[in-house]
Amino acid sequence: MKPLHDRIESLHREYLAALRKERRVIRLWQTALLVAFFAVWEAASRFHWVDPLLFSSPSAIAKLFGEKLGDHSLFVHTWATLFETLLGFLIGTTGGALIGAVLWWFPRLAKTLDPYLVVFNAMPKVALGPILIVALGPGFTSIIAMGVVISIIITTIVVYSAFQEVDPNYLKVLRTFGATRYQCFKEAVLPASFPAIISTLKVNVGLAWVGVITGEFLVSKQGLGYLIIYGFQVFNFTLVLMSLLIVALLSTVMYQLVAIVEKKWGSRR
Partner 1 sequence: MFLVIDRLSHTYLTKTTAVTALDDVSLSVEKGEFVSFLGPSGCGKTTLLSIIAGLIEPTEGAVLIEGEPLWSGGSDAQTARRAVGYMLQQDYLFPWKTIEENILLGLKMTRTLTAQTKERALALLAEIGLAGVESYYPSQLSGGMRQRAALVRTLATDPKLLLLDEPFSALDQQTKLKLEELVWKTLKQYEKTAVLVTHDIEEAIAMSDRIFLFSPRPGRLVRTFVIPDELRGRPPLAARQHPAFSPLFQSIWKEMEDLEAAP
Which CB atom, from 31 or from 183, has the smaller least distance to partner 1? 183
Q: How many CB atoms sit inside 10 A of residue 71's CB?
A: 9
Shortest reach from residue 97's CB to partner 1, in Å: 17
Q: Which of 179, 198, 244, 245 binds partner 1 (CB under 8 A)?
A: 179
Binding range to partner 1, per CB under 8 A, among 12-20, 62-70, 179-187, 198-206: 179-187
Which amino acid is present at 56?
Answer: S
**182 binding partner 1? (CB under 8 A):** no
CA separation for the pair 122, 145 (Å, rounded):
18
**97 binding partner 1? (CB under 8 A):** no
Provide the 8-state DSSP code for 1. -
**188 binding partner 1? (CB under 8 A):** yes
Q: Which helix (H) or strand (E) holds 97?
A: helix 73-105
Show contacts with partner 1 in window 49-88 (CB under 8 A).
Answer: none
Q: Is 39 exposed, middle or buried (0-12, 13-18, 19+ CB in 10 A)?
A: exposed
Continuous H helices in 47-176: 52-55, 58-70, 73-105, 107-122, 129-136, 140-164, 168-176
**166 binding partner 1? (CB under 8 A):** no
The footprint of partner 1 on this chain (CB under 8 A) covers a number of residues equal to 19
**170 binding partner 1? (CB under 8 A):** yes
Q: Which of 38, 175, 220, 259 binds partner 1 (CB under 8 A)?
A: 175
Q: Is 66 exposed, middle or buried (0-12, 13-18, 19+ CB in 10 A)?
A: exposed
Q: Which of 12, 13, 63, 172 binds partner 1 (CB under 8 A)?
A: 172
Positions in the binding site for partner 1 (CB under 8 A): 167, 169-170, 172-179, 183, 187-188, 191-192, 194, 268-269
